[in-house]
Amino acid sequence: MANGVGKDKVTALEARLSNGKAYPGKTVISDKPNDRAVVALNTGADTDKVCTPAQFAADPGETGKGLVVGFPKDATYPYASPADLHGIKPLNQAPRPDGGDEAEAGAETEGGSGRGKRHKGEPSRGKDGQPAVELSDRPVGTIVSNIHEGNSGGPVYNKRGEVLGLVESGIPGFDRELFNPLSKQQVNEWLAKLGGQK
C-alpha cells in the first residue's frame, strides 16, 4: 500500500516469483489518496513463463461469498480462507463494533486486533503515537474472513475467481476486515498509462 509505512522509505524492490527467481521492480504509479501503488517487475525473457494476468471484476463492491489468499503468520505457502463480502463504503462509514461514530473509530481493542472489546473514545495509536487509521472518505471493501498479519496485500476474490481488491488488514475498532477495491476499469486505465511509458 502507498501509505502505512510511516517514515520508512522503500529504496529497493524485488519480488520472488513461482520459479524461485527474484526480479527487480520499481514503483511506477503511486495513488496515495487511495493508499495504492503499482510496482512493475522486470521479468525479461521469463515474462511469458511467470506472468499470468489476473481477471478483475467490473464491480469490486459486490456482496456474497468470496475468498482471501495470503501468507498469514510467516506461512511459506499461500493459504485461502472463505470470505463473506459486504460491499464498499467510505472508510469513515465502515462498520465498527458498537456502531460508534466517526470520532470513535479506530479505538483500541483487546489483543490489538480488529475484534473484541473496545475502550470507547480511545483512538488507536501507532508506535509513533500518531492515530493508526486516517478516517478519510476513500472507498474500502468490507469482508468477514480469517485474516492475520501477512495477509495484507493479498487478493480478495469473488466466487467467479475475479479479483475485487487487496487486503488492507483488520483495523482496530472495526468489526470487519478491510480491502482496497480495484475495478477492471481502474486496472485497464493503469495499464494504458503504463503502455505509454518508455
Q: CATH 2.40.10.10 occupies which residues in the chain?
A: 63-184
Question: Cell for 146?
Answer: 480469517
Strand partners, 68: 81, 156
Site of grid cell 483495523: 171
What share of the chain has pLDDT > 90, as a percent?
Answer: 33
Residue holding cell 470513535?
A: 104
pLDDT at position 189 is 92
Distance, in Å, from the CA atom of 50 to the CA atom of 17, rounded to the nearest integer, reads: 7
Stronger pLDDT, 176 or 83, i.e. the higher one: 83
Percent of the chain with pLDDT over 70: 69
pLDDT at 58 over 60: yes
Q: What is the pLDDT of residue 92?
A: 80
The residue-averaged pLDDT of 34-54 equals 88
Q: Which CATH class is domain 63-184?
A: mainly beta
Span 177-181, average pLDDT? 91
Position 39 pLDDT exceeds 70: yes
Local confidence band at 129 (pLDDT 50, 70, 90 cut-offs): low
Adjacent-strand bridge partners of 123: 107
Higher pLDDT pick, 34 / 59 = 59
Q: Work out the average pLDDT over 89-118.
A: 50
More confident residue, 107 or 36: 36
pLDDT the model gives residue 96: 63
**In this structure, what C-alpha cell is assigned to residue 172?**
482496530
Mean pLDDT of the chain: 76
- Stretch (H or E) spanning 50: helix 47-50
